[in-house]
Amino acid sequence: MILAAAALAVLAACAPARPDAADGAAPWPDGYVAYEAVPSRLVAGRVRAAASLAVDPATGEVLVRLALDRGQSSIAVDGALAALATAEGTEAALASPGGAEPGSAPGSGEAFTLRFLPVTDPALHARYALAGAPSAAYRLDSGFLRDAAGKRLFEGAFEFKPDEVARAAIREAADRLYSLASYEYSGNAATFASRQTVYMESEGLFPAAHGDGADASDLADAAPADRFVLVSGDEFWLDRWLVKVSPYRLGEDLFARVRVVSKTPERLSLDWSRVAVVAGGASAAPAGVLRETAGRLGSALSLLPAPFELGQNGRAELTLVWPGLGAAAAGGFGMRLDGVATTGGVPLFGLALEYAPEPR
């Protein structure tokens, strides 16, 4: 989640300590790999700032520990100006801060953790919500550190480069993402549109789809010419409902990034346990979803959400996981989305969706 512009950001405070392990700071969280800071400190008169960085290769989340030695100066930390740049040319604003506002009075020995969610592969993120491999280098400009008059304290920036352990983690993450196999809808778009239209008409889904705030008589009078069914890449436009399904395979596991958007007063019932993949002669429901925090996919599996309803202008998005199904689905598979239905239990899709490996 990107931090909205504000006069002063609120940062998460950590124990008063230097931001690198050699100076006695707490170790990084499990799984994070450290980068080297060059320079490790910035100096302006009696004021000093030291920084270190670590990244979680599984999620791309970056933590920057910043220690301030203010001497007798007042320092303000303007989070709206804090941005972490990557070697790939992308930039991330400060994410999900919390805690007390720092830097309003003279003192020394204050340390803070800054959290960033950079994306190094925008195309991968747009389709699957995966950030890409950790960057080959990060850069944090010091312009967000201000004096009492609001002027920047330091010139220059912190540059972070991976050490040997981090370089190995980057290569491993990049190799894993390179092995990602995408799938595309393999059915005939015109045939799907024709059969799906007949199904929606027979189930009375078109009048409901054309609600948009209208009363019952308006719904009944909705002209057939105004109704449409369309397949476009990963997206299925079922009149006023949009369902996007983006399956992929990583190693032994099969995943599907699913988005549902409703533009009608007719509420939807979403029960992900009633979504099934048919592969290798067997049908399987997802075992769970990838855990998501602050808009970034994690590496851990969470339980499927309980069934819930989606109202007008509502949107649901998550990644379903079928552990161990990657091999069976390697050559293609079918998917039934019976769990995406009206509150009366009528599935939006009248037929199964067929997927084939996408050419690399």
Query: Predicted confidence band at 47 (pLDDT cuts at 50, 70, 90)?
Result: confident
Lowest mean pLDDT among 66-70, 185-189, 208-212: 208-212
- The yes-or-no verdict on residue 221 having pLDDT over 50 is no
Contacts of 42 (CB under 8 A, 6+ apart): 48, 49, 142, 154, 156, 158
54 or 207, higher pLDDT: 54
At 233, which amino acid appears? G
pLDDT at 333: 98
> Are the C-beta atoms of residues 360 and 340 closer than 8 Å to each other?
no
pTM of the model: 0.81
pLDDT at 227: 74
Query: Predicted confidence band at 58 (pLDDT cuts at 50, 70, 90)?
Result: confident
Most confident of 86-90, 141-145, 295-299: 86-90
Lowest mean pLDDT among 161-165, 293-297, 312-316: 293-297
DSSP string of 111-141? EEEEEE---S-HHHHHHH----SPPS-EEEE
Helix extents (H) in 75-211: 122-128, 164-178, 189-202, 205-209
pLDDT at 41: 86
Mean pLDDT to the nearest integer, 5-20: 33
Mean of all residue pLDDT scores within the chain = 83
**What ranges make up the beta strands (E) of 217-302?**
229-232, 235-238, 241-250, 253-262, 268-270, 275-279, 282-284, 288-293, 296-302
pLDDT at 72: 64
Mean pLDDT to the nearest integer, 46-61: 90
Mean pLDDT to the nearest integer, 24-34: 82
> Tokens standing for 280?
């290798």
CA dist., res. 124 & res. 131, Å (int)? 7
At 71, which amino acid appears? G
pLDDT tens figures, 243-264: 999 999 998 999 999 999 998 8
pLDDT at 76: 81
Which phi and psi angles does 150 have, rounded to 5°? 85, 10
Mean pLDDT to the nearest integer, 175-187: 95
> Tokens standing for 258?
């699913």
pLDDT tens figures, 111-164: 888 999 999 999 999 999 999 999 999 999 999 998 888 888 888 899 999 999
CA dist., res. 192 & res. 190, Å (int)? 5
pLDDT at 291: 83
